[in-house]
Amino acid sequence: MAQIILQNDVKAFVSHDTTVEDKSSTGGELGIKPKVHFSLLGAIGVQYSVTSAPIAIGAYMSLAIGLGGSPAYFWGFFMVGLFQLLVCLATAELASAIPHCSGMLIKHHNTKLQNYRTDHTLEKGPAYWAIALADRRYARSLGYIMGWLTNAGWFFVSSACTLYPAQLTMGLVQAAYPDFTAKSWQTYLIYVCFALLYLFFNLPLIFRSVNLLLRIVVVAVNGTAIYLMIALLVRTQHKQTAHFVFAEFTNESGWASDGLVFFLALLPAVGCLSAFDNATHLTDELENPQKQVPQVIIGSFLMSYLTTIPMIVVYQFCNIEPESLLAAPGNQPFIQLMQNAFRSFAMTALGTSMIIFCFFIAGTAALISWSRLYWSFSAQGALPFSITMSKLSSRDALPINALCWNTVLICAIGAISIGSTTAMNALLGAANLCLLSAFAIVFGLMLYRGRKVLDPERWFNLGRWGDLIVWASLIWVIFISVMFCFPLYLPVTAEVMNWTSLVFAGVLILAGAYWLCVYSRRGIVGE
C-alpha cells in the first residue's frame, strides 16, 4: 500500500496489488489490473531507449550546418542539458509524491480526493496531477487537455521512432546502390514493417522476452556509441580543428540575429533530453514506483547527457565534409558522415545496422509507453473507442486493443508524413511542444498550490531548492516551446516551413471537438 498525501486538500491511497480483481479498476469492464512486468533495469531500458541520445543526436548534423554550425550544436546541447536537468528533477519529485499509471493520468485505484468526494465525476477525472493540484472548477478540463497533449506527444514520438529506422534502411540501400532512386511508397512499406514489428514484440508470449531485451538496451546503445566513436576516430583522416568544432559559428538561415539562430538550433538537444514522463507510464508494472520511477527518470537523463557530450565532439571532429551531409543517401547525414570517415561500405553498413537495431528497441519501448498512456486515458472515456481501448487481456494483463489501435494510427500518420523532407522535424517538434505544454501546466499548478501540499515523506524531495527549480523549469519550458514554433529558415517556403505550431493547433482543435461533442455529454467509464 502506497500512501500519497496532498495536505489539507487531497489524501489518496493507491493500491498496487496486481492480483486482486476490482470492477472499478482501470482494467475497464474486465476488472483486470496490470501485472508487474518490468524490473528497475527494464524500466531504465524503456526510458533510455526511446531517446537513444548518443545515437540520435547524429541524425541532426545537417541541421547544424546553417544554424550556428558545430558550436551551436555542441554548446546548445550543453546548455539545454542544464535546463532539462531542472525539468527532470521537478518531474521526478512529482512522480515520487503522486505515482500512478501514466504520471499524468488518474487511474481507477481506490483513490479519494478529500474535498471532491461529493463530485463523482471529478473524483474519476482524467488527469491525476491536474485534479490533485488545480482549483476544483478547472481540474477536470485541465486534466483532459493534459491527457490529450501527452497522448499526442507520445503518438508523435512513436511515429518518429518508426520513421527514422525506415529512412535509415532506405538510405543504406541507396548508399549500396547509388543509381537507385527510392520512392516514397517504398519507404512507407518499410515504415509499416517496423510498426508491425513493434506491435509483434508487444503481444502476449513474445512480450515476456521484451523485459530481457530492455535490460540490455543500455549496453546496446552505449556499445553502438563506443563502436562509432572508436571507428570514427581511427578511420577519419585530417580531422576538423578545435576552432571549427567549438568556435566557428555560421548563420545561413536568413535570420539576422545570431542569438536567435542559436536558440532555433536547440531542437536536436531538447529532443534527445526529453520524454521524462516515459517511466511514469509503467507505474503499475513496477514493484516500488514511488522510488523506482524517480530513479529511472534521473538515472536515464544523466546517462543520456553524459554519454552524448563526447559523441557530439567526435561527430564534429570527424565531420570532414560538412556540405556533403546536405546530399546524403536517403537524406540521412549519419550515413554520409560514416561514408566520408570510414571509406568503407562494410563499416558503414555495420554502423548503420547497429543504429537501426537501437531504434528498433526505441520504437518498441515507445509503443509500450504510449499504449499504457492511451489505455489509461481511455479508461476515463476521454478518447475515441474508450470502452474497447480501456480493456486489458485477461491472461497477461496487457492493453492489446490499445496496442493494435496505436499501430493503426502510426501507420496512418506515416502515409501523410513519409514523403516530406521535413517530416522528422515536424514530428519531433510537435512531440516536444505537446509534452512541454503538458509539463508547463503541471509546473504552473505546483507553483499555484505550493509544494507543501505534496507528501512530506516522499522518497525524492527537492527540499528548499524545490520552488526555485520548479520556477526555472516553468520559464524554460515556456521559452523553448515558443522557440519551437519559429521557422528555421527565411524566407519561409513550403519546404522549410515549420509545421509544429499547426500540428499543435490541430491537436487542440481535435481535443476541443471531442470534449464538446462526446466527452462532456457522457459519464466516465466505470461510473
| AA letter at 266 | L
Tell me the angle at which helices 139-176 and 345-378 cross, rounded to the nearest 10 degrees.
160
| AA letter at 422 | T
DSSP assignment of 336-390, as one string? HHHHHHH--HHHHHHHHHHHHHHHHHHHHHHHHHHHHHHHHHHTTT-STTHHHHT
Of 81, 40, 48, which Cα lies nearest the Cα of 219? 48
Q: How far is CA 405 from CA 64, 155, 341, 463, in A?
A: 36, 11, 42, 42
Between CA 383 and CA 394, with CA 388 as vertex, the angle to 5 degrees is 130
pLDDT at residue 132 in the model? 77
Residue 520 to residue 527: CA distance in whole angstroms: 14
pLDDT at residue 520 in the model? 80
Of 419, 441, 446, 417, which Cα lies nearest the Cα of 429? 417
Of 331, 297, 511, which Cα lies nearest the Cα of 421? 331
pLDDT at residue 235 in the model? 95
Residue 272 to residue 295: CA distance in whole angstroms: 19
pLDDT at residue 54 in the model? 93
φ and ψ at residue 4, rounded to 5 degrees: -120, 125
Give residue-wise pLDDT tens across range 213-246. Answer: 777 888 889 999 999 999 999 999 989 999 999 9
Contact between 368 and 46 under an 8 Å Cβ cutoff? The reply is yes
Residue 244 to residue 152: CA distance in whole angstroms: 39
Say how many C-beta atoms besides its own lie within 10 A of residue 237's C-beta: 9
pLDDT at residue 511 in the model? 94
So what CATH class is 2-521?
Answer: mainly alpha
Residue 524 to residue 31: CA distance in whole angstroms: 15
Q: Would you say the C-alpha torsion 422, 424, 427, 432 has a positive or negative sign? A: negative
Of 81, 209, 94, which Cα lies nearest the Cα of 480? 81
pLDDT at residue 244 in the model? 93
Q: What is the DSSP letter of 490?
A: S
Say how many C-beta atoms besides its own lie within 10 A of residue 244's C-beta: 17
Contact between 470 and 446 under an 8 Å Cβ cutoff? The reply is yes
Of 365, 367, 389, 368, which Cα lies nearest the Cα of 377? 389
Hey, what's the torsion of the CAs at 419, 424, 427, 430, to 10 degrees?
-130
Residue 476 to residue 486: CA distance in whole angstroms: 16
Which class for 360: exposed (0-12), middle (13-18), buried (19 or more C-beta within 10 A)?
A: buried
pLDDT at residue 241 in the model? 94
Q: Model pTM?
A: 0.85
Grid cell 533495469 in the structure block, residue: 41
Of 339, 341, 317, 316, which Cα lies nearest the Cα of 327? 339
Grid cell 538550433 in the structure block, residue: 265
Residue segments in the chain with a per-residue pLDDT below the cut of 50: 1-32, 101-126, 524-527
Residue 522 to residue 239: CA distance in whole angstroms: 64
Q: What is the DSSP letter of 2?
A: E
φ and ψ at residue 66, rounded to 5 degrees: -100, -15
**Segment (H or E) for 13:** strand 10-14
Reply yes or no: is the peptide bond before residue 491 cis, omega within 30 of 0: yes
**Cell for 342?**
570510414
Biggest CA–CA distance in the chain, Å, is 73
Contact between 187 and 195 under an 8 Å Cβ cutoff? The reply is no
Give me the residue spans of the domains in the chain.
2-521
pLDDT mean across residues, the chain? 82
